[in-house]
Amino acid sequence: MTKPPASWPAAGRPAIVVTGASSGIGAELARVAAREGLDLVLVARSAPPMQALAAELRAGGMPAHVVPLDLASPTAPAALGAALAARGLHCEVLVNNAGYALLGPFAGLDAAAQLGIVDLNLRAATALALAALPGMLARGRGGVLNVGSTAGFLPGPNMAVYYASKAYLRSLSEALWAEARGSGVAISCLCPGPVRTPFLARAGIGRARLFRLLPKAAARQVAERGWRGFRRGRRIILPDPLSWLTARAVPLLPRALLLPLVRRWQRPR
């Protein structure tokens, strides 16, 4: 069994750590969070877009750091802790945003790529929260913003592992929200519907009728609403009309009707 990650640095300047900050919602969350004036730590695999974003933030007087890391690796949480310590920082806020999806039937998609979703969307997010939360609770400040999805509200035939990973993240977030109540530490799960980012093309989602038809929110709007909801202590944040509707309608619909529909609408073409 892998050893749980040691807690991150307890001392130093407070920082906001954003994973998946090289594009999409993560980059926009970093821009929005940077207004708070804390050091920003950008984490993803691709260094050049994060360096460009860090330069943009520094030009606006906001301190930013780039930590290129493959978060699917089990050594990533310790490496990120070491990177924080080397810069004299502690994690005040953790934004668990890095994630990806794959469209296609469970038994037909590449097994390693699907296990990669488990490693990143769920294992890495959990390991980073395990490393960051003890310090936050001791200080009585800060928090964790997990980026889930409306996919976390229902099972997703033809994207089964992704939907399950987001259901896990929602469940984890809600449990931690309850555990942290009254501590001064905020835990939220941001659950957007489809958003215009490279995510959709990377997942091959454009081949599914459901995603071709549904309206797509702008990443900046999702980030603005997500950050505001987090700072207000919201447990679940539904940043667009579609996410609001999904969260309310799905529990009312019989699964026997819903699942064949989702399967058909998410069939790759």
Ligand X SMILES: NC(=O)c1ccc[n+]([C@@H]2O[C@H](COP(=O)([O-])OP(=O)(O)OC[C@H]3O[C@@H](n4cnc5c(N)ncnc54)[C@H](OP(=O)(O)O)[C@@H]3O)[C@@H](O)[C@H]2O)c1
> Quick one: 99 or 135, whose CB is closer to ligand X?
99
Q: Per-residue contact track with ligand X, 19 to 48, x per CB under 6 A? A: -xxxxxxx-----------------xxx--
User: Strand 186-190 and strand 143-147: pairing?
Assistant: parallel
For residues 191 and 148, the answer to whether their CB atoms sit within 8 Å is yes
Residue number with the smallest Cβ distance to ligand X = 24
Residue from 13, 35, 181, 202 touching ligand X (CB under 6 A): that is: 202
Residue closest to 101 by CA, chosen among 22, 169, 28, 160: 160
State whether residue 190 is helix, strand or coil.
strand
Letter string b/e over residues 226-240, b meaning 16 or more CB atoms within 10 A of that residue's CB = bbebbeeebbbbbbb
What minimum distance in Å lies between the beta carbon of 205 and ligand X?
A: 8
C-alpha dist (Å) from residue 263 to 2, 7, 212, 237, 247: 36, 41, 15, 26, 19
Residues 73-102 that bind ligand X (CB under 6 A): 97-100
Residue from 135, 194, 226, 239 touching ligand X (CB under 6 A): that is: 194
Q: Per-residue contact track with ligand X, 153 to 192, x per CB under 6 A? A: ---------------------------------------x
Q: Which of 100, 162, 163, 168 is catalytic?
A: 162
Which among 52-60, 170-178, 196-204, 229-237 is the span making contact with ligand X, rule CB under 6 A? Answer: 196-204
Chain Cα centroid distance, residue 19: 7
Annotation says 163 is catalytic: no
For residue 145, the cross-strand partners are 95, 188
Catalytic residues: 162
Binding site for ligand X (CB under 6 A): 20-26, 44-46, 70-72, 97-100, 120, 147, 149, 192, 194-195, 197-200, 202
